Amino acid sequence: MILDTGVIEIDPVVAFAWHRGGEAILVDVREDDEWAEAHIPGAVLSPMSEFEAAGFPRKAGRRLVVVCGIGKRSEAIARVLVQRGEGVVYNLSGGLKAWQAAGLPVVPDDFGLDPVDALPDDFLYRMGAWGVTYA
């Protein structure tokens, strides 16, 4: 659905497929404490409290999907980006809450790992799932 602001609402399952296929960059605008609780693996954190359109993360040739907890803050950021001429910007419909409800993957803190390059087993090890805890 295209909002009257020019922002396109995107379903979490579609965003996941784009993200996994390298077709999109997901930018999470929640704050540090929210990010630490749970976030989308491979997403980029850019807190709304530090928002500057000029410094907003982008990757050439990839769709820009903005994410927050329920889709309100991300829609506001996406609207500003569209108004400033950033082209097509997608808002994750329902935010991280809808992403989780769809059964899509989230991770807690990154445990010092790069979420883009780390393997799922790396996170499990650091979480203590193998009977060992990360020091």
- Give DSSP secondary structure letters for 38-96: -B-TT-EE--GGG--GGG----TTSEEEEE-SSSHHHHHHHHHHHHTT----EEETTHH
d(Cα 9, Cα 94) in Å, to the nearest integer? 9
Residue 82: count of CB within 10 angstroms of its CB: 18
What predicted TM-score, i.e. pTM, was given to this entire model? 0.77
The residue type found at 88 is V
**50-54 — which CB contacts under 8 Å span 24+ positions?**
51/77, 51/80, 53/80, 53/81, 53/84, 53/86
- Tokens 């803050």 found at: 73
The pLDDT, as a whole number, for residue 65 is 96
The pLDDT, as a whole number, for residue 130 is 44
The pLDDT, as a whole number, for residue 100 is 93
pLDDT in tens, the chain (135 residues): 555 568 999 999 999 999 888 899 999 999 999 998 899 988 889 999 998 877 777 777 889 999 999 999 999 999 999 998 888 999 999 999 999 999 988 887 656 666 555 555 565 555 554 444 433
d(Cα 77, Cα 55) in Å, to the nearest integer? 13
Q: Could you tell me the domains of the chain?
A: 8-127 (3.40.250.10)
- Tokens 């960059």 found at: 25
The pLDDT, as a whole number, for residue 135 is 39
d(Cα 32, Cα 36) in Å, to the nearest integer? 6
